[in-house]
Amino acid sequence: MPRRFIKRYMPDHDTIRNHKHLQFLGTLLHDPNILHLNRRSVSGAFSVGLFMAFVPVPFQMVLAAIGAIVARVNLPISVGLVWITNPLTMPPMFYFAYKVGAWLLGTPAHEINFELSFEWLARELALIWQPFLLGCLVLGIVSAVLGNLLVRGLWRVQVGREWRKRRARRTEKPRRDKTDDDAD
């Protein structure tokens, strides 16, 4: 089961609680759900992590950590999922977000000729910020909801499978006959 695999790499609760950079969160760090692996905590972590992956700011991991602690969901999974947007995936994801935002606003997509400079970035963002941010918001919400539902569905399937295995093991055990017990 993936739960055992993930649990092996989870940090200790005291390590998180006593971390010097997280002390400003106070008693919110004492919630056991931020490190538990249950259906609610993991599916909520997927929601937080996937939503924060579409937030176009630096330090998404910090936002995901704060979101996970406030929402009382699994902290490491939330922070780890933010890495869906990495230097390789960020350009196509954010370009797709821009296209979705332009489509929702009914505006034609602006032709983008890439240049690696701060001036180019500032100039282009001034032209496309509305559809870009709308696309990021919509895709963040959609991916958070779909991720949550997918994890809950897969969790339910896995639990059902485990229950069936347990039931099959119980019925396969040879039962002792009552007549053998009465003879003693």
Looking at residue 83, the DSSP 8-state letter turns out to be G
The residue-averaged pLDDT of 157-179 equals: 79
17-28 pLDDT, tens per residue?
A: 676 766 666 667
Query: How buried is residue 138: exposed, middle or buried, by Cβ count under 10 Å (0-12/13-18/19+)?
Result: middle
pLDDT at 47: 95
Indicate the pTM of the whole model. 0.75
34-77 pLDDT, tens per residue?
A: 887 888 999 999 999 999 999 998 889 989 988 998 898 998 89
pLDDT at 25: 67
| Domain-wise residue ranges, the chain | 2-174
pLDDT band at residue 7 under the 50/70/90 scheme: low
User: Which residues lie closer than 8 Å to 128 by C-beta, 6 or more apart?
Assistant: 98, 102, 110, 112
